[in-house]
Amino acid sequence: MRVRASIDEVRASTTFTVLDGASTPPTTAPPTTPPTTAPPTTGMPRTWWRPEIGVVWQWQLSGLPVDTSVSADVFEIDLFDNDKSVVDRLHAQGRKVICYLSAGSYESWRPDAASFPASVLGNGNGWPGERWLDIRALDVLGPIMENRLDRCAEKGFDAVEADNVDGYANGTGFPLTGAHQIAYNRFLADAAHARGLGIGLKNDVEQIGSLVGFFDFAVNEECAEYDECELSTPFIKAGKAVLHAEYSSTTDQYCPLTTRLGFSSIRKNPDLDAWRQLCP
């Protein structure tokens, strides 16, 4: 289970300057600017994979090795903890494979941890060895994330889930704004697509309206727990899957709603081992 703010916390932490009844953007422009490339929905030819609505998925980040006997069309597994042979084995079974990585937090145990200078490391995010990143520093983080995406592509993954991409709504230690977050998330989407990878938007439900055109699917945690599931429906309306997981709720508490909405819902243990429960 990842760190995330509820929608009410996001709205409470977002401030605007009001002049003549209109809200104005921050007076300081973000160091990064959104890509000029049009989102895929405007007619760009798409050469990367995108999961279909209603696809059955599995999410395993611990309890390795990956249990490939689990019945699923799509597996999401960790970039660094799995070599190419795991991806190849899943492909041989007809599965698609999503590459998990954290794009918004520093993780001290990762093999590229030394690439992150102290200047971009913020507050801890509640998980041992993890700290929020200063996503404004795209000159520093851009090459690191591009190298990670290169690894995803080299191992043969079909798509990527970039985690912790809602730092602006959390206590990172940096003065991040929604504009900074949108710019960074669009950079990630463009970088993934340039490598032939689809990409899923992780949580960040408050910004879906600005990002749904750039991302190929959504990965959502605990929208039923936070009463936020309706906020992810723009992906379904755009013909894109919502891969959804709950931890503490039982299937009877969320499956009637998420099945109606068209989500691909699973119940998982918080440590994301191989155990999984589908909606009946």
* Residue with tokens 């936020």, as numbered in its chain: 228
pLDDT digits (tens, 9 = 90+) for 149-158: 999 999 999 9
Q: What kind of architecture, by CATH, is found in domain 7-31+48-278?
A: Alpha-Beta Barrel (3.20)
122 Cβ partners below 8 Å, 6+ apart? 131, 132, 133, 134, 167, 172, 173, 174
Looking at every residue in the chain, the average pLDDT score rounds to: 89
- Confidence band for 39, pLDDT divided at 50, 70 and 90: low
pTM confidence score? 0.86
pLDDT for residue 40:
47
Query: What does the DSSP assignment read for 14-31?
Result: ---EEETTEEE--SSPPS
Spans of all domains in the chain: 7-31+48-278
Residue 205: φ, ψ to 5°: -65, -25
What's the rounded Cα separation, in Å, for the pair 60 and 206? 26
**Mean pLDDT, range 178-207, rounded to an integer:** 98
Burial class (CB in 10 A: 0-12, 13-18, 19+), 93: exposed
pLDDT digits (tens, 9 = 90+) for 94-110: 999 999 999 999 999 99
pLDDT digits (tens, 9 = 90+) for 195-209: 999 999 999 999 999
Q: Specify the 3-state DSSP secondary structure of 271.
A: coil
Query: Does an H or E element contain 256, and which?
Result: helix 251-261
What's the rounded Cα separation, in Å, for the pair 231 and 246? 16
Q: Reduced to 3 DSSP states, what percent helix, strand and coil does the chain have, rounded to the nearest 5?
A: 30, 20, 45
